[in-house]
Chain A
């Protein structure tokens, strides 16, 4: 299967990437090149094979449900492109 400009625009939207229409054609061809390369996996018989979920046999650790860190608003906000008081600011989302 092959991606066209419209498909590229849709994926870009899902990925929250601005993509100018004049880039879409080139991106489609690059993605199709990669997708046709990975197509060869379809030739592998994977009947009764479990998909890998963890490369090492390990159980996720759990720690005590307790506060271990925090109370550092200045450190947290230090790199904010825009802030107001102890908050990040973003363009208005609610009308």
Chain B
């Protein structure tokens, strides 16, 4: 048998190969492990778990050889964002403050994947506590995008699921879990030329995922194709009594109607997403996206989401407020780093001062401030009111359209270090993804083309609550039309 190149496979084709016994899960997993090791210059992994992977692969092969029932992802190697608690495996959130933390429990989302037979390659790098848009805030150092500039300059993969996007784009994981609070699945998917979907708030359990902003956090798959996202989302999603905001409704078979097309569907184009000074290539790609969907039989409808402009400011109050509260638990008492102090308060302060990085401290400070006495109404209550208006905008739009098409990010991948001086510059990366998060809606990014610098750009699709199946169908149409087959050259293999 010829050597397996995991970079040429998808989850769907791997499942086919496994079913036809072209290769075993152990063989496939070994190939992924070799690629993962060769890709270390990308710094996409925090912890590699090759032994666990091979053990899981062996068990998958045994299930298949017995000819019994197999899982939806049986024998497929995946990598897990290091924000998901994995039993007995280091879980860091890319923060110094979780030094040495090995959970005694497994997150529901990953447990669901293992129940369906998936194989874990290891834990992926990310922005510290998922706070960032470039994967540069990680305590474990930045992730490098597999796509380089033509002159060889190293670029960011986006964030916060930067390791996830890099692992899938580099071809060593067939899929990866991501989490999205303001764009953390969709923006890195766009910058790395892969597909990612943030489901409706409540669709995937948050239990066992390190919390950043609980009213926004939602986990989802990051894969090479829309079909793979559909397969993986079906395995991850589901009701979980352990998450109080998990929604108790059945998980549809997202693959079943994937090829149903968009004939007769109405696709909204929000005029407020056309911003001053927008990159002309991104505007052109958006136009192209409209044309593709029109050619496939959809009706393109101009819509208005009047409060779009205020989404980013709303987000940068709501998310830090929730983060400052969620991150209060890191006190050096029960797990992770402890830096001694002369009394309890000093121990807390020393531990948190040393354990949290700059961006995380900045957000805790903002969050603490906007929730403090005298400022709460002016900032936090005001932001929650604007959030209501943003959600209403979408509700009104969705009376007229079935899905919304926008660019995913305002730019392609940029050089490491370029946007670090000004936090607000970095935040602008999320301008197109944040409104969807604030409204709790499903959103996905589909790779749609390369810019003149040879870097991937994605288009975003936004759907109605719990209409992921329809959204994936539009995504599939877009993917087919865009026929995005470009791959980064494997320069990291030196």
Contacts and interface: CB of A to CB of B under 8 A. Distances in A.
Interface of A: 3, 8, 11-12, 14-19, 27, 30-31, 33-35, 37-42, 44, 46, 49-56, 58, 60-61, 63, 72, 75-76, 78-82, 88, 90-93
Q: Which of A31, A56, A93 has the most CB of B within 10 A?
A: A56
B382 A46 contact: yes
A75 B245 CA distance: 26
B342 to A, nearest CB: 7
Contacts of B387: 51-52
B384 A16 contact: no
A82 B388 contact: no
Contacts of B342: 91
A19 B391 contact: no
Contact of A38 (B215, B247, B317): B317
B335 A56 contact: no
A91 B361 CA distance: 24
Contacts of B369: 3, 11, 31, 35
B131 interface: no
Interface string B407-445: 000000000000000111001000000000011100000
Contact of B104 (A40, A55, A75): A75
B469 to A, nearest CB: 18
A18 B368 contact: no
Contact of B386 (A12, A46, A72, A79): A46
Give the interface size class of chain B. 35 or more
A45 to B, nearest CB: 9
Contacts of B201: 55-56
Contacts of A38: 313, 316-317, 379, 383
Main secondary structure of the interface of B (DSSP, over half): helix
Contacts of B386: 41, 44, 46, 49
Contacts of A3: 369
B338 A31 contact: no
B365 interface: yes
B389 interface: yes
B353 A50 contact: no
B362 interface: yes
Interface string B232-273: 000000000100110100000000000000000000000000
B202 interface: yes
Q: Which of A14, A55, A61 has the most CB of B within 10 A?
A: A55
A66 to B, nearest CB: 13
Contact of B366 (A16, A31, A56, A60): A31
A56 B202 contact: yes
A18 B350 contact: yes
B465 interface: yes
Given A17-B349, A37-B316, A42 B382 contact: yes
B324 interface: yes
A63 B333 contact: no
24 contacts: A16-B349, A17-B353, A17-B356, A27-B365, A30-B362, A31-B366, A37-B313, A38-B379, A41-B383, A50-B388, A51-B385, A52-B388, A54-B245, A55-B391, A56-B200, A56-B201, A60-B244, A61-B241, A79-B100, A79-B104, A80-B333, A81-B332, A81-B335, A81-B337
B372 A41 contact: no
Contact of B423 (A33, A55, A78): A33
A50 B387 CA distance: 10
B316 A34 contact: yes
A79 B391 contact: no
Contact of A27 (B102, B345, B362): B362
Interface in B190-235: 200-202, 215-216
Contacts of A37: 312-313, 316, 424, 427
A3 B375 CA distance: 13
Q: Which of B307, B340, B349, B365 has the most CB of A within 10 A?
A: B365
Contact of B368 (A11, A27, A81, A92): A11
Given A27-B365, A46-B382, A15 B424 contact: no
A16 B342 CA distance: 14
Contact of A33 (B334, B365, B382, B424): B424
